[in-house]
Amino acid sequence: MEAFHYHVFVCDQKKPEGAPSCCARGAEETIAALRREILARRLEDEVQVTTCGSLGLCEWGPNMIVYPEGVWYTGVEPGDVPEIVRSHFEQNTPVERLVRHDEAEVRAEILSNRAKRLAAVRINTDRR
């Protein structure tokens, strides 16, 4: 069953001040712009937007993944949203300038950021 044609996961992870995060790079404004644009184009029955925790590419945020294709967008600003909605959701053509294509590079960066986060958790746990 396909409830929506597109399902978009957008990171809205908040982190301590100074730590790279999508919210520190404007995710809340990008999410609001995305929801407004989807409504304005009457695509709310075709595109589901779900906010989520870290997608693991914190330095490149705001980040989003569009399914069913699994397209990774990074550095998405509110001004990019109309182009994404028009091109990707209406014309089925991803916005190439914002897409991360190198799967190995994406995976390596996510794993590296996860390792850093887990190391920080271990240090904090050890201090108790």
Mean pLDDT of 60-84: 96
Give domain status of residue 89, yes or no.
yes
Mean pLDDT of 33-52: 97
**Which residue range(s) make up the domain with 49?**
6-101
Q: Are strands 71-73 and 64-67 parallel, antiparallel or unpaired?
A: antiparallel
Q: At 119, is the pLDDT very low, low, confident or very high (cuts 50, 70, 90)?
A: confident
As beta bridge partners, residue 49 has: 8
Give domain status of residue 74, yes or no.
yes
| Count of structural domains within the chain | 1
Rounded to the nearest angstrom, the gap between the alpha carbon of residue 76 and the centroid of all alpha carbons in its chain is: 8
Q: Which of 104, 100, 39 is nearest to 69 (CA)?
A: 100
pLDDT at 39 over 70: yes
Give the CATH number of the domain where residue 59 resides: 3.40.30.10
Helices (H), the chain: 27-40, 81-84, 103-126
